Every structure is written in structure tokens, then in C-alpha cells.
A and B are shown apart, each in its own frame.
With several copies, the nearest count.
Chain A
Amino acid sequence: MERCPEIADKLMPLDEAVRRFIFNGCQLAIGGFTVNRNPMAAAYEIIRQGIEDIHLVCHSNGQALDILIGAGCVKRLEIAYSGNGRFAPTCVRFKKAIEEGELEFEDYSNYQMALRFLAGALGIPFIPTKSGLGSDLIKYGGFSPEIREDEKVANLKYAVVGNPFSSEKDEILLLPALTPDVTILHAQYVGEDGTVQINGLTFADLEQAKAADTVIITCEEIVPRSFIRLDPDKNSLPSFFTDAIVKVPYGAHPTACFKFYDYDPAYLKLYRKMAEDDNLFKEYLDEWVYGMSSHEAYLSKVGTEMLLKIKANPALGYAQGLERK
């Protein structure tokens, strides 16, 4: 780490980043989407450190969302979608937690959540949209009036207002901005100058990062300044938005990281099976999360054979011909 004087105070091990920046009751946003680029290593570390009462604000964060809920770290949830594609049409621990009344939750849509992060990133208090008019997303607020007094919860789920720029009747929804305490993203590259580069789709990662007070980036590689500055049109975030940079190869496993590795279908199936049963899920957590001293130990347990199977063809970005049934 001494090679990077520009980011010396931001480079740190994962356990330190979680210890310094994630706190009980924090409002947390995580990057990625369903089976892609979830900051899984960070999620595992949050569970290991026993962080509680998290207020999670999500669009479609599949795997990380589900395991954080399953491990009991989450108290409150604003969510658009909890599914993992074919591996779990509805995330299993999420589903159980809702059905058993264990979560404070409120439903939005993906665009609504993305727009709320955008509003936070732009520093504006709300943003309008037509999406949601007539739906039960508006009709049913999930949070109680007491919860709405929390400073990180908007006092209204939505406001419906007339468009002052229209001479005809034109109603529109206003969505309150989101400004998470912390956002965690998993990126492919961080430069020695602190520049973050995400390859492939960015989902709502950049809006989530810019909306947050604190940003933790886990990444596959720390790369030289000369590499990250070769084509700045491809870069995603300048250094001044990030507070912690952590090198964690395979840090998104079992979700995919475009150009580096694919999702791990066997692991996701195992997870789903164990998540279906409370006792099995405890075993799963003991075996795969609490029992692991580090992400390196976890990867050893995943095993070289699987890591090679899911290794992405860099020209395609995924593992061609991977057994996915």
C-alpha cells in the first residue's frame, strides 16, 4: 500500500473499513443488481461484525440484501425488488422476514429508487415522475408515523402535486431524495490516484455513491495511475467521493463481476436450498460467514475449481458455456 501516497489514508483492509464506517442503525445503500457486482465480501464482514438495525435502501439488490436480512442485520428496508433471477424468483430470507413480520418495510419501484438516489446525488430534496400514479405503491405507505420522525426517513412516502407549468390538470408524483449514511460499491478497478472505474452496466451505483455521506469501494484491482488515466471517458467516480478503498479480489462472489468472473450457479443454488430452512440457514451462516476469518479463507473454501469455472472470458465479460441449469 505504500506505493499509493495519493490514497494512503483511504486504502485499508475490509474489516477496518466496516469497523470505521458502518454503524448500528446506519442507512445503507449497496451497489450492484440481483446477481451482479453485489459487494458480498463487505456484506459478509458486516455480518461477522454483528452490525444491527441497518436501514437498507435498495432498488434490486439481490444476494447482498438477502443475506443481510437473513443474518438479522436489517431492521428497516426501502425496496423495489428482491429477486435473484432464476436462482430465486423471490429472495428467500427476504420473503420469510416479510411474511413473518420481522421487518419495517416500504415498497417502491426500480425507477423510483434510482430517481431518489439521483435526487440525493444532485443535492435536491425531491424529483418528479409519473411512475406510480394509480398504483398501490402510493396507496400503502409501509412506515408508521413514529418511523417517519426518524431524520433519515422522509416525512411522506410521496407527494402528488399539480404541475405548475401546465395550464391543464396534470398531476405528478414527487419522490423524496435518498441520502444514505453509507454506500458500498464493488468495482473492477481503483487507480492509485483514487479514481474508480466500473466496467459494464453501472446500475444505480454512481447515483448511490454520490448521494451518500460515506462511500466504501471494494475492488478487484488497484491499478497504476497511468492505467486508470489512459481513457478517462471510461471512469466512474473521482477520488473525492470515496472514503475507503479496499482491494478484495472476487469480492462480489457468488454474484458476477463483469470481465472478471461470472455468478456462481452452484453456490447460489446451495444458498437457496439452505435459506429455505431456518436451521440449515444457521448452518450456512456458521460455515460460510462466521466461520471464515477473511474473504481469502472464504475463497479457499469455494475452491480453485469453481473459481476457474466462473472465470470470465475477458472478451465476453462472462464465463462462456458455464453450467447454469
Chain B
Amino acid sequence: MISYSDNEMMAIAAGRLINDGDVVFAGTGVAMLAATAAKRIYAPRAVVFFETGGIDPSLDEIPMAVGDSRVMSGTSLNSGLIEAFSTVGHRKLHTIAFLGAAQVDRYGNLNTTSIGNYYKPGKRFSGSGGACDASALASGIIIFMQHEKRRFVEKLDYLTSVGWYKGGNSRQELGLKRGGAIAVVTNLGVLRFHKETKEMYLREFFPRASVDMVVENTGFPIDVSGAKKTLPPLPEELKVLREEVDPQRLICQSDMNAPPG
């Protein structure tokens, strides 16, 4: 049995959700691993791009931030924020955004702003960055989280980014005509959203996790009735991740890095 890190399992599980031809809006850390791995393994015609404006960089080394010079190198095009975000929202593209968060609620809404009173918070995070925009404008978002009760909450301290809002059709009624949360990928498994109610449920748990671990670490009741065990990382998936995507092992070898908070 091959050993692998949480980050590797998460990147692979998320990468498997990408379809060929998707235009993938990547963040940093595991999100970038997942996006790059997806393109190299599952979706060769996917295009990876960054909110800073870099489209389809060669990514010979893994960037440490979306402002890293590595997202400008070997690109199709170097532009800027306006171009990147209008691409995220472009009606003719199927755009998928990878995002991290400090808190998520059952409808896939995200908090990356603060805990406690907004004006004098107990804990302040980095803020929206492009998360609010990608959540509003992309065809869908895939969220990376550490699976902890304090992060999977009944009510967000601050709603930075709209997922399915209040469930049902409420997102559309806001005027957001497409998009919504596709999945939450955690160190324990993959959660999806019910078609009608838009409530989160457990779809897969990772080989090293269990349904009970998910229930214990989720701060709201969660449907786990249909959950199945995830296929572990395949040797060829790990090979691409380690040899092509992150040869310096900056992200692969550790657990999930740099989640807000």
C-alpha cells in the first residue's frame, strides 16, 4: 500500500471532479495541486488560470501564491484582475473555482473574513480576495476545508461568499444566474449538495477516515446515508502529483497548508 498525505488525497479527489474542457480558476496550496493534477491526469483540455490574470501557465514549479511569478511564466496570456474575473463569469465558459475557507455552512456559503464581531473580531482572516467574486460568477465552486466542527458551522460569523445561500432556489432569486457549490473536499472526504434542497451531504469518505469521523467533526446534522469509501490515490495519480505537479514537494508532503485561520 502506497502512503500518501492528506493533501495528496484531497488534491486527487478534487481533481477527479474536473471535466475535460472546464476552465479552472485556481487558488494556492491544495487548490493549485488539484487544478494542475486535474489537467495533467483527467482533463487534458482543461485550462487553469489565476485571478491575477495568468492563463494556462506552464507551472514547471508550483506557485506559492496567485501573485507568484510562476503564474506568469509560459502562459498563453498575461493580463490582469479585470480580465481574469470577467473570464470567471463568462457565460460561454464552464468555469470551476477552487476555494478555501475558515468556515462553511450547510449550504456551502463561506467565511474568509472574520470570527466574532465584524468591527472588532476575535479573529481576523485575509478577507474575500477573489472568493466572493468566484462564488458569485463561476459555473461552480469546489471548496477545500479542514474538517472541524468550528469550521462546519450552523451559522457563519460573516458570509463572505455565497454558495447556495439559503438553499432551494434562493441563490437564483438573488440574481446569481448560475453557479453554486459543487463539492466540499476535506481531509476526511467529499461532500456534495442535494439537488433540491441544496443541503450538504456526505458523498465519499477517504480510506483513512470514516463516516463517524465526518459526523463528529461537522457542526450541523449531516446526511451520510449514501456515503461510500473513496478510491485511494492510484500510483499513476501520485506519480504525476509528485513528479510533475509538485516536484519540490512543497505542498504534497504536508497536511493541508494555509487555510485561513
Contact = CB atoms under 8 A, between A and B. Distances in A.
Interface string B208-221: 00000000000000
Interface string A192-229: 01110000111111110010010000000000000011
A122 B76 CA distance: 20
Contact of A133 (B123, B124, B175): B175
B230 interface: no
A82 B127 contact: yes
Contacts of B28: 85-86
B133 interface: yes
A281 interface: no
A137 interface: yes
B175 A237 contact: no
B139 interface: no
B260 interface: yes
Interface in A92-122: 94-95, 98-99, 101, 107-112, 114-115, 118, 121-122
Contacts of B144: none
A84 B65 contact: yes
A193 B128 CA distance: 33
B185 to A, nearest CB: 18
A189 interface: no
Contacts of B232: none
Given A136-B159, A204-B80, A316 B60 contact: yes
Nearest to A231: B78
A240 B175 contact: no
A325 interface: yes
A122 B83 CA distance: 8
Interface string B27-45: 0110000000000000001
Contact of B76 (A121, A142, A232, A312): A232
Nearest to A239: B76
Contacts of B259: 89
B73 A317 contact: yes
A90 B124 contact: yes
Nearest to B70: A318
Contact of B124 (A98, A112, A233): A98
Nearest to A262: B69
A324 B65 contact: no
B67 A60 contact: yes
A239 B118 CA distance: 42
B133 A111 contact: yes
| Size class of the A contact interface (CB-based, 8 Å) | 35 or more
Contacts, number: 268
Contacts of B123: 99
A237 B90 CA distance: 14
B135 to A, nearest CB: 8
B130 A110 contact: yes
Contacts of B143: none
A82 B126 contact: yes
B182 interface: no
B116 to A, nearest CB: 9
A99 B76 contact: no
Contacts of B82: 111, 114-115, 118, 122, 204, 207
A258 B89 contact: no
A320 interface: yes
A80 B128 contact: yes
Interface in B65-102: 65-82, 85-87, 89-93
B148 to A, nearest CB: 16
Contacts of B70: 318
Nearest to A206: B80
A232 B75 contact: yes
Nearest to A202: B80
Given A86-B64, A110-B129, A135-B132, A203 B260 contact: no
Contact of B77 (A35, A90, A238): A238
Nearest 10 interchain pairs by C-beta: A85-B65, A81-B129, A83-B126, A33-B67, A34-B67, A111-B133, A200-B72, A111-B85, A109-B132, A114-B81
Interface of B: 23, 28-29, 45, 47, 49, 51-56, 60-61, 63-82, 85-87, 89-93, 113-114, 118-133, 136-137, 158-162, 165, 171, 174-176, 248, 250, 257-261
16 contacts: A60-B67, A85-B64, A86-B64, A89-B259, A122-B86, A133-B162, A135-B132, A135-B160, A200-B78, A201-B52, A210-B86, A210-B90, A256-B67, A262-B69, A316-B74, A318-B69
Interface of A: 6, 32-36, 59-60, 62, 79-87, 89-91, 94-95, 98-99, 101, 107-112, 114-115, 118, 121-123, 130-137, 139-140, 142, 170-172, 191, 193-195, 200-207, 210, 213, 228-229, 232-233, 235-241, 256, 258, 262-263, 312, 316-318, 320-321, 324-325
Given A236-B77, A238-B56, 19 more contacts: A59-B81, A60-B129, A81-B129, A81-B130, A85-B63, A85-B68, A91-B126, A98-B121, A98-B124, A99-B123, A121-B86, A123-B86, A131-B85, A135-B159, A135-B161, A140-B158, A170-B175, A232-B72, A238-B47
